[in-house]
């Protein structure tokens, strides 16, 4: 089986890290080291892994980082107080509150507390609003921004394409659709946002030139849902039981890769596709926040 149609997220993320490193060097020449604060509540295993990967990327690129781990029983008031301190800490240019938060927190309140200019995750209402309005001065969410960058750097034509986004979540689906339908370069697509209540989902998918799966359902996209030549972007990360695996489980995407890959014009593997790009975009956003702070303070 040929894998010539794979979009190598690790290689493209590496290119972006190289570009980001050059910007970090320029900042350090002006006496500024980009700083990123991670805030994690509780001991969710996946969150620990994700934060660990982001910490490693910071260390490799030369971004200062610090991690604040709060107990599961932390009150919302205590979390907001920590965010308030990070907001005024000049060493910190970006703040990331790792999702998901425990259920006793109001996520909208937490994300709204982070200053928009330090919201490198793109979750603050100001940044969400700027994205919807096509205002490039805000921060975009890292995962959909990474998907868009993969398409651009893989020479996939977005302008005029029929794009189907599976999933209407606030982290990927909604911002993904907003990015791709904007009037501007590397956008101007006709976007259909599908979800659990969409009628005849397969028909929508088969119409797509680009199919972006972000539903969080293991191997949901089957071969009969994809027309030959479609570009398939698999955003999902799902844990499924596997007695043969060392940990008793394995990770799969939202696409049944083995069956869909031979049909696809291009396709992201999972892992090694979208995941590395999320981190690359986070590092890029953090550096941009540091650059903006320099302009604001001068």
Q: What is the pLDDT of residues 171-221, one digit of tens each?
A: 999 999 999 999 999 999 999 999 999 999 999 999 999 999 999 999 999
pLDDT, one tens digit per residue, over 225-242 is 999 999 999 999 888 888
Active site (annotated) includes residue 261: no
Q: Using CA atoms, how far apart are residues 260 and 1, in angstroms rounded to an integer? A: 12
Residue 261 lies in a domain: yes
Residue 283 lies in a domain: no
Residue 43 lies in a domain: yes
Q: Using CA atoms, how far apart are residues 233 and 236, in angstroms rounded to an integer? A: 9
pTM, rounded to two decimals: 0.95
Residue 59 lies in a domain: yes
Please state the φ and ψ torsions of residue 53, each to the nearest 5 degrees.
-65, -40
pLDDT at 296: 61
pLDDT at 159: 98
pLDDT at 114 over 90: yes
pLDDT at 45 over 50: yes
Q: Count CB-CB contacts under 10 A for residue 9.
A: 26
Domain containing residue 217: 142-274
One of 54, 118, 130, 266 is an active-site residue; which one? 54
One of 117, 118, 119, 121 is an active-site residue; which one? 121
Same domain, 74 and 152: no
pLDDT at 26 over 60: yes
Same domain, 170 and 220: yes
Same domain, 146 and 269: yes
pLDDT at 1 over 50: no
Active site (annotated) includes residue 242: no
Same domain, 175 and 102: no
Q: Using CA atoms, how far apart are residues 295 and 289, in angstroms rounded to an integer? A: 10
pLDDT at 19 over 60: yes
pLDDT at 255 over 80: yes
Q: Using CA atoms, how far apart are residues 196 and 80, in angstroms rounded to an integer? A: 34
Average pLDDT, the chain: 95
Pairing of strands 162-166, 190-194: parallel
Same domain, 178 and 110: no
* Residue 224 DSSP symbol: G
Same domain, 185 and 259: yes
23: its two tokens: 């910007």
> Helix, strand, or coil here: 50?
helix
pLDDT at 250: 86
Active site (annotated) includes residue 117: no
Same domain, 71 and 159: no
Contacts of 205 (CB under 8 A, 6+ apart): 164, 166, 194, 211, 221, 225, 226
Same domain, 155 and 217: yes
Same domain, 102 and 171: no
Residue 8 lies in a domain: no
* Position 4 confidence tier, pLDDT thresholds 50, 70, 90: confident
Same domain, 103 and 159: no
pLDDT at 80: 98
5: its two tokens: 């149609």
Same domain, 110 and 186: no
64: its two tokens: 């200062």
The burial of 18, by beta-carbon neighbours within 10 Å (0-12 exposed, 13-18 middle, 19 or more buried), is given as exposed
Q: How many domains does the chain have?
A: 2
């Amino acid at each position: 089986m040929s894998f010539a149609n794979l979009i190598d997220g690790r290689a493209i993320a590496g290119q972006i890290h190289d570009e980001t490193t050059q910007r970090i060097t320029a900042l350090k020449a002006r006496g500024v080291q980009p700083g990123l604060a991670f805030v994690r509540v509780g001991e969710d295993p996946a969150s620990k892994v994700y934060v660990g990967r982001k910490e490693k990327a910071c260390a490799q690129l030369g971004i200062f980082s610090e991690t604040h781990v709060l107990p599961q029983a932390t009150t919302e008031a205590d979390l907001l107080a920590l965010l308030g301190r990070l907001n005024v800490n000049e060493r910190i240019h970006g703040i990331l509150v790792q999702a998901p938060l425990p259920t006793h927190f109001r996520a909208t309140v937490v994300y709204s507390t982070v200053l928009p200019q330090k919201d490198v995750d793109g979750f603050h209402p100001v940044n969400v609003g700027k994205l919807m309005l096509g205002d490039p001065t805000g921060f975009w969410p890292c995962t959909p921004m990474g998907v868009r960058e993969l398409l651009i750097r893989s020479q996939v034509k977005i302008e005029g394409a029929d794009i189907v986004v599976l999933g209407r979540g606030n982290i990927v689906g909604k911002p993904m659709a907003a990015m791709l339908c904007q009037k501007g370069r590397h956008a101007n697509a006709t976007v259909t946002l599908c979800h659990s209540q969409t009628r005849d989902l397969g028909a929508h998918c088969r119409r797509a030139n680009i199919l972006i799966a972000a539903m969080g359902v293991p191997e949901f996209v089957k071969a009969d849902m994809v027309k030959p030549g479609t570009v398939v972007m698999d955003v999902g990360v799902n844990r499924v039981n596997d007695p043969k695996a060392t940990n008793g489980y394995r990770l799969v995407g939202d696409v049944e890769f083995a069956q869909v890959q031979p049909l696809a014009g291009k396709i992201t593997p999972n892992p090694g596709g979208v995941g590395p790009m999320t981190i690359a975009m986070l590092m890029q956003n953090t550096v941009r926040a540091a650059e903006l702070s320099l302009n604001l303070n001068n």
